[in-house]
Every structure is written in C-alpha cells, then in structure tokens.
C-alpha cells in the first residue's frame, strides 16, 4: 500500500464498482501489431498463441477460440447432434446461454434443482430427470467452484449421455485435480469482460476427442475444411458440413493473448480479495445468519465470484440498498430459467426447483477484481459488517 494521501482520500469518496475489467501489459502492442499486419481476420498468430496458452493452463488436447461462450455452447449442441425430441438436463440456476443453445437445435430443456451449498446442479435431481430421450447434461461450475462431478460422471456413463461443462467462471479451477472444462465430453470458456480473463467478447471450446475436434473445426469455419487447407492437408477447401462463423478476429485474439500472459497476476489479484472476504466476515456472518461462499475441499476455485447468501429475500434487498448507500455495488444474480418466459415456453421442469428459487432470491455478490486496492477491500468489509439483519 502506498501512503499517498490524495489517492486515499479519492478512494474514500469514489464508488466501489462490482467489477473493473483488467488491462494487461502488451494489449496495445499486440493490437498495433495486428493492425499493422495484413492478417486481421481469424486464425492468425495471436489465435495460435492464445490457443497454446489455453492448452497449457487447462491441459485440454484440443482448444478452439470462438466469438463467445454462447457460440462455443452452440458448437457443442451441433457436435452432439441435438434435435427435436431430444432432452437436455440443465440447472435452473444458470445463465440463459446453455439453454438457448439447446433450444436452437429444437431440443427440450429439462430444468432441475441445485445444491444450495454451491449453487451447482444437484446430481440426485439429475438422476430423477433422466429419460430415454436424455442426450446430455449441461453443467455449470458456479463461481469457478466445480459441480459435484463424481455422481454426474457415473450417471453419464451408466446412461451413455454426454456432459457439457459451461466453464465460463472456472478457467484454471479443478475438481479432484482435474481441470474444469476437460472432465466432460465438451467444455466451454467465456472471455466476456465480466470474466477473469477477457477479450471484450470471446470464448473457447475445449475437447479431448480427436474425432469431435475434426468436426468442430469444420463447424466453426462456416462448415468448411479451411483449417485443413491452411495446414496443407487438402489443396482446396469447400463446404463439408453444417456450421457457422464462430471464429474471433485477430484483434480479439491479440487482447486475449496479452490477458493470458498475465493469467497468474490476474488470479493472484482476485484470490487476494476473495481471501480477505473469507477471513474477515465469519463473525458477522454467524451473527446475522448469513452463509458465506463455500468451496468443498476436493475443489480449487478461481475467485471469479465472492457471494453471500442472506437469510431471506427482504434482508438481501435491504443489504443491497445498504451497500448502495455506501457507494458499493453488490448485485444479485441469475433469475431461475425454469420460471423465465422462454423456459416456461420451451422447457420442462419435472420437479419444482425450490432451492434454485431460494438461492436466486437470497444471493448477493461482493465487488471483486484483480487491481482492487486494500482501501477498497477494507471499505467493502466495513460496510458489510455495519449491516445488521
Ligand atoms: C458469461 C456466461 C456465459 C456467456 O458467455 P458469453 O461469452 O458472453 O457468451 C455463459 N454461461 C455462464 C455461466 C456465464 O457466466
């Protein structure tokens, strides 16, 4: 901490936002290099470099950059050949992207409840929802804390169904030593600027299967074998399959590559904030019947979120107002998909998702970003502990 009086005074009066996107060294240099080159479209040297870094971090044998996590999920739904009549099991408490990628194929979303201790899909609820039409389970690792993968992998093997991991929050996280995004059949990442690593917008598809990879690279390039052509494996390229244009330009890849070069700095900065909240809030939480974010011991999290679960929705709303009054943004999170307009129309909910509804109604998230100052962290902790339910 610097003892700079003017910056301390400024930080006492400035609002504390929920998130400040990280600016990595070399972003501008990389962008300038792309703009000065003749290669601004996708799959140039920054795409190759960012892809290599992602393979190193995740250990995934195959990584394809995409324009978003949503597009990576769409690619996943195409690879699984989902079609009308097929069912896909999803948690009620997640972002709409996995559901909309299923619905785009004409398949049916089947929403199930979550485990309230982590906010992740509940394997027991999945087991009850499996039918002969079930083709896949879409899992999301909330806040970068792995879902309970053991029983999910057993169910998938027993019923021959695929697991898709929406790992938008969990780059670098693990479950029993296995990297998130590489445990199921298909994994996806997001590089939206609300995520730990970002390129403004962006995403990636992670695969372990060589055959799926051959098809994925065709589907990602408008259904053409251009990737094979660029590697010199065919002497011209053409239309081979269905697909779309899911590859990001080198401008996005240039920013992403700079961010990935700073991966450890970014993660260390986020963990510093996360650890301060975990350390300083237990006494206040116990006194106010608040549950702090929980990480089971067999999982390494990514400090993507730090959330609190308040005793009731009214207390949660009072808390958000209290924090807003002190200039601190502590937003709520996902609205249950089973109760959303599209979910009601295009989904099926075999058992009411009461735990998801309660989690959604009581959760609130504290500010977290890599360059948060000690002053800002202290201001958040002071404001939280001033609140009495
Ligand atoms: C952000 C997010 C997405 C969507 O990511 P985009 O890259 O914006 O498409 C999907 N799932 C979850 C859980 C997310 O948090």
301 and 144 Cβ atoms separated by less than 8 Å: yes
The pLDDT value recorded for residue 1 is 38
The pLDDT value recorded for residue 14 is 84
Best substitution site from 166, 201, 307 to test ligand 1's pocket, by max atoms within 8 Å of Cβ? 166
Domains belonging to the chain, first-starting first, are: 27-261 (3.40.640.10), 263-386 (3.90.1150.10)
The pLDDT value recorded for residue 311 is 98
Q: What distance in angstroms lies between residue 304's CA and the mean position of ligand 1's atoms?
A: 13
The pLDDT value recorded for residue 5 is 43
* CB of 70 sitting under 6 A from ligand 1: yes
Residue whose C-alpha is closest to residue 64's, from 209, 173, 196: 209
Pairing verdict, β 347-348 and 108-112: parallel
* 291 burial type by CB count under 10 A (0-12 exposed, 13-18 middle, 19+ buried): middle
* CB of 125 sitting under 6 A from ligand 1: no
Q: What distance in angstroms lies between residue 174's CA and the mean position of ligand 1's atoms?
A: 19
* CB of 95 sitting under 6 A from ligand 1: yes
Ligand 1 atom at minimal distance to the Cα of residue 71: 9
In this prediction, the residues of the chain whose per-residue pLDDT falls under 70 are 1-13
* CB of 192 sitting under 6 A from ligand 1: yes
**Buried b / exposed e across 250-260, counting CB within 10 Å, b at 16+?**
bbbbbbbbbbb
Could you read off the pLDDT of 7-53 as tens digits, one per residue?
455 555 689 999 999 999 999 999 999 999 999 999 999 999 999 99
SS3 content of the chain, % helix, strand, coil (to 5): 45, 15, 40
Ligand 1, atom 14, residue with closest C-alpha:
168
* CB of 168 sitting under 6 A from ligand 1: yes
The pLDDT value recorded for residue 13 is 66
């Amino acid at each position: 901490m610097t003892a700079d009086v003017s910056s301390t005074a400024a930080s006492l009066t400035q609002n504390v936002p929920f998130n400040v996107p990280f600016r990595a060294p070399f972003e501008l240099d990389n962008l300038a290099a792309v703009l000065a080159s003749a290669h601004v479209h996708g799959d140039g040297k920054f795409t190759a470099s960012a892809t290599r870094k992602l393979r190193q971090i995740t250990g995934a044998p195959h990584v394809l950059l995409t324009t978003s996590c949503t597009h990576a999920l769409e690619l996943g739904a195409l690879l699984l050949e989902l079609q009308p009549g097929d069912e896909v099991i999803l948690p009620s408490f997640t972002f709409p992207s996995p559901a909309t990628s299923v619905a785009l194929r004409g398949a049916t979303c089947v929403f199930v409840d979550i485990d309230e201790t982590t906010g992740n899909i509940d394997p027991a609820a999945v087991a009850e929802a499996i039918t002969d039409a079930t083709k896949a389970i879409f899992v999301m690792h909330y806040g970068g804390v792995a879902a309970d993968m053991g029983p999910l992998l057993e169910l998938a093997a027993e019923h021959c169904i695929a697991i898709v991991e929406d790992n938008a929050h969990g780059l670098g996280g693990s479950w029993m030593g296995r990297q998130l995004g590489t445990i199921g059949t298909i994994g996806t990442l997001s590089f939206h600027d609300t995520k730990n690593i970002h390129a403004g917008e962006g995403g990636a598809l992670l695969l372990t299967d060589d055959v799926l990879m051959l098809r994925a690279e065709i589907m990602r390039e408008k259904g053409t074998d251009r990737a094979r052509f660029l590697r010199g494996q065919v002497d011209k390229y053409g239309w081979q399959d269905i697909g779309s244009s899911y590859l990001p330009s080198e401008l996005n890849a240039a920013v992403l590559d700079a961010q990935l070069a700073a991966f450890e700095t970014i993660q260390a900065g986020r963990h510093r904030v996360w650890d301060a909240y975990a350390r300083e809030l237990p006494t206040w939480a116990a006194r106010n019947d608040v549950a702090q974010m929980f990480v089971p011991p067999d999982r390494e999290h990514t400090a993507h979120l730090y959330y609190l679960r308040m005793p009731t929705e009214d207390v949660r709303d009072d808390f958000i107002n209290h924090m807003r009054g002190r200039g601190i943004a502590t937003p709520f999170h996902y609205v249950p998909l089973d109760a959303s307009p599209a979910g009601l129309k295009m989904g099926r909910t075999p058992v009411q998702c009461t735990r998801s509804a309660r989690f959604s109604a009581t959760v609130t998230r504290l500010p977290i970003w890599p360059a948060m100052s000690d002053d800002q962290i202290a201001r958040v902790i002071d404001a939280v502990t001033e609140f009495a339910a």
